[in-house]
Structure 1
Amino acid sequence: MPLFDAPFDLPDAELRYLPAWLDGATADRWLARLLAETPWERPQVRLYGRLHPVPRQVAWYGDAAYRYSGLTHPPQPWTPLLAEIRAALEALVGRPLNGVLLNHYRDGRDSMGWHSDDEAELGRDPLIVSLSLGGTRRFDLRRVGQTRIERSLLLEHGSVLVMAGATQHHWQHQVAKTRKPCAPRLNLTFRQVHPQP
């Protein structure tokens, strides 16, 4: 994998951050198209016996279904734009990517809770290639089993964050709610899914 700018080192993790992977004009164009063209969904998850809507809008594209948070997401076919983005990111990391989860954070009330991307279909050492478009949001990391935030990173418009190796075994991450004004943000997390029998 190419070496990117690394704002911090974490033990038992392989993280790389490229803050300006995309030029501003391309990032703006991709953001506008994806916001307009994506058939967004807001699925419900069951917590403590009650159904709650996911606190953001989502869409799954890929070559196979993807299961997380107790939900199975059938894949939508690749659009020309998503196929173009996928090819560029595959060239960047030197590995195949066959699915992408799009998360739309409409404002600071939309969020992603603490989790690790450690589903069985992502393989032993999952590769997550995350492209951020739109408003800057804070990305927090903590040790699995701990409550204290160890590191935070501001994910900027046009940036790429790569999580690989043993990262998902030892670390959790979140995008927390915030009361600070923030522009809408899209996060495209590309991955390699290995369908389970």
Structure 2
Amino acid sequence: MSVTPDLFEAPRQLEPLAVPDADLRFMHAFYPPDECAALFATLMAETPWRQERIEVWGKVHDQPRLTSWHGDAGTRYTYSGITLDTCPWTPTLTRLRQDVEAATGQRYNSVLLNLYRDRHDSVGWHSDNERELGGEPVIASLSFGATRSFRLRHRERLHAPVNISLTDGSLLLMAGAMQRHWQHAVPKESREKGPRINLTFRRIQPRPG
């Protein structure tokens, strides 16, 4: 199943997507194109991007994208054996968090930024189900730059795979039992793609120290 937003009649609020065993909501053009371009340039310039090293099947590789983790004090985050150092909120990230909180009615204390530099950058199949995210995580995914495919597959293969085109300035809310029932990925592309920045706002249980 492919879920493609209507580019000509963008919804004025987050619209539910018909995906079983999950609460998914989407808004195309959360920010207008001119503002997207300015925000993309600012995020590219002021973010302390890092390329982490990950272990896959006993071998260590460069992660196929750049990342940066920002949040409140004590919001360290560990996934795939990587513990991310917490950078402070910038004025730009604070503004984006406030906008996303107003649109989703949720509160977030951290954000993971991913930079997909070209068609070769990707993220493999996974669920955001780390303990510090809670039993039913609420994650708001904000995209700037080139459109990339966001793919979903059911853990028990009960439902057909889902493909969502995450366009420039779009906002996707993932909630409910999604992380328990579905895995998601941003695969490599067969055709050339420009850079894309994705921000996933989360609420995690702060750790002491």
Aligned to 1:186: 197
2:15 is paired with a residue whose SS is: coil
Task: Structure 1: give runs of 5+ residues left out of the alignment.
Answer: none
Partner residue of 2:43 out of 34, 55, 59 = 34
Q: Is residue 4–residue 17 contact of structure 1 (8 Å, CA) maintained in 2?
A: yes
Q: Deviations over 1:36-80 (max 9, x none)?
A: 111110101111221111100000000111111111112100000
Task: Structure 2: give runs of 5+ residues left out of the alignment.
Answer: 1-11
Partner residue of 2:19 out of 10, 13, 16 = 10
Q: CA deviation at 1:170?
A: 0.2
What TM-score do you get using the length of structure 2 for normalisation? 0.89
**Distance in 2 (alpha carbons) for counterparts of 1:194 and 1:30:** 28
**Distance in 2 (alpha carbons) for counterparts of 1:14 and 1:27:** 26
Q: CA RMSD in A?
A: 1.7
**Distance in 2 (alpha carbons) for counterparts of 1:16 and 1:155:** 12
**Structure 1 residue 172 and structure 2 residue 183: aligned?**
yes
Q: Which amino acid aligns with 2:204?
A: V
What TM-score do you get using the length of structure 1 for normalisation? 0.94
Q: CA deviation at 1:195?
A: 3.0
Q: CA deviation at 1:107?
A: 0.4
Q: CA deviation at 1:127?
A: 0.6
Report the count of equivalent residues.
195
Percent of residue pairs identical:
45
**Structure 1 residue 59 and structure 2 residue 68: aligned?**
yes
Aligned to 1:154: 165
Structure 1 residues 149, 30: CA separation in 2 closer, same or farther (over 3 Å shift)? farther
Q: CA deviation at 1:118?
A: 0.5
Q: Deviations over 1:82-109 (max 9, x none)?
A: 0010011111111210000000000000
